Amino acid sequence: MRLIATDLDGTIVRHDGTVSPATAQAFALARDAGVQVVLVTGRPMRFLKQLRPQLGRIGTAICANGAVVYDDDAERVLEASTVPLHALELAHAAVLQAAPDATFAVETLDGLQLLPGFGQGAWDGDTGQGFDARALHARGVIKLLAKRPHGSGAEFEDAVRPHLGSSVSVTHSVPGTALIEIAAAGVDKAVTLARHAERLGIAAEDVVAFGDMPNDLGMLRWAGLGVAVGRAQPAVAAAADRVIDACEADSVATAVLELLQIRDEAEAR
Q: Which of 109-113, 129-133, 184-188, 264-268 has the lowest mean pLDDT?
A: 264-268
pLDDT for 80 equals 96
Euclidean distance between CA atoms 172 and 107, whole angstroms: 15
- Strands 168-171 vs 179-184: parallel, antiparallel or unpaired: antiparallel
Question: 227-248, pLDDT tens digit by residue?
Answer: 999 998 999 999 999 999 999 9
Question: 201-231, pLDDT tens digit by residue?
Answer: 999 999 999 999 999 999 999 999 999 999 9
The CATH code of the domain at 85-184 is 3.30.1240.10
Q: Residue 266: is its pLDDT beyond 80? A: no
Q: Residue 91: is its pLDDT beyond 80? A: yes
pLDDT for 128 equals 58
pLDDT for 116 equals 83
Look over the chain and give the mean of its residue pLDDT values, rounded to a whole number: 92
Q: How confident is the model at residue 90 (pLDDT cuts 50, 70, 90)?
A: very high
Euclidean distance between CA atoms 73 and 58, whole angstroms: 7
Euclidean distance between CA atoms 183 and 187, whole angstroms: 6
- Answer for the pair 166, 184: CB distance below 8 angstroms, yes or no: no
Residue 104 pairs in a beta bridge with 146
Q: Residue 263: is its pLDDT beyond 80? A: no
Question: 117-132, pLDDT tens digit by residue?
Answer: 887 554 444 555 678 9
| pLDDT above 90 as % of the chain | 84
pLDDT for 232 equals 86
CATH of 3-80+188-268, one of 3.40.50.1000, 3.30.1330.30, 3.50.50.60, 3.30.70.260: 3.40.50.1000
Total length of the chain: 269
* Three-state DSSP string of the chain: CCEEEECCECCCECCCCCECHHHHHHHHHHHHCCCEEEEECCCCHHHHHHCHHHHCCCCEEEEHHHCEEEECCCCEEEEECCCCHHHHHHHHHHHHHHCCCCEEEEEECCEEEECCCCCCCCCCCEECCCCCHHHHHHCCEEEEEEECCCCCHHHHHHHHHHHHCCCEEEECCCCCCCEEEEEECCCCHHHHHHHHHHHHCCCHHHEEEEECCHHHHHHHHHCCEEEEECCCCHHHHHHCCEEECCHHHCHHHHHHHHHHHHHHHHHHC
Domain ranges of the chain: 3-80+188-268, 85-184
- Answer for the pair 159, 99: CB distance below 8 angstroms, yes or no: yes
pLDDT for 258 equals 96
Across residues 13-23, what is the average pLDDT? Answer: 95
Across residues 59-85, what is the average pLDDT? Answer: 96
- Return the higher-pLDDT residue of 127 and 36: 36
Of 150, 193, 152, 144, which Cα lies nearest the Cα of 174?
152
Question: 154-178, pLDDT tens digit by residue?
Answer: 999 999 999 998 999 999 888 888 9
